[in-house]
Amino acid sequence: MSISVVYSKHLGQIIGDITENMDGSYTMGSPCIIQLGNNQVGLIPLFTTVKQKNFKISKEDLVFQELFEPEDDIRNYYSSNYGSGLQLVTN
C-alpha cells in the first residue's frame, strides 16, 4: 500500500492508500477527493456516511492509467488526518 493520487474520470483527483489488485484494478483505502481553490488544497473524505472505507476502481475509470506521487505537504496532511499519522520529514 502506498499513498498515491489518481485522476478519476468522474470524481477528479483522489488521494488514498492504494493497493494494486491481481486483476489490474486498484483498491483505495480512506480515499479523499482533492479540492483546489483560492491557492489552497482541501481534502474531502469520500466515505463520511458509510462504514465502508475502501473501494475498488478500475484503470478504465481513470484519465491516466497510473498512480502519481503526491507533494510532501499534501501527503503529510492526508496521512495525519486520514491515514496512519506518519509524516515525511523534509529538509
**pLDDT tens per residue across span 3-57:** 999 999 999 999 999 999 999 899 999 999 999 888 888 999 988 888 888 999 9
86 has a pLDDT exceeding 60: no
Whole-prediction pTM value? Answer: 0.85
Judged against a pLDDT cut of 70, whether residue 85 lies above it is answered with no
For the chain, the C-alpha Rg in angstroms (whole number) is 13
How many degrees, rounded to 5, is the angle at CA 47 between CA 41 and CA 50? 160
Q: Name the amino acid, one letter, at 63.
A: V
Beta strands in the chain (DSSP E): 2-8, 12-20, 26-37, 40-45, 54-57
Residues whose CB falls within 8 Å of the CB of residue 31, separated by 6 or more in sequence, listed in order: 14, 15, 16, 45, 46, 47, 55
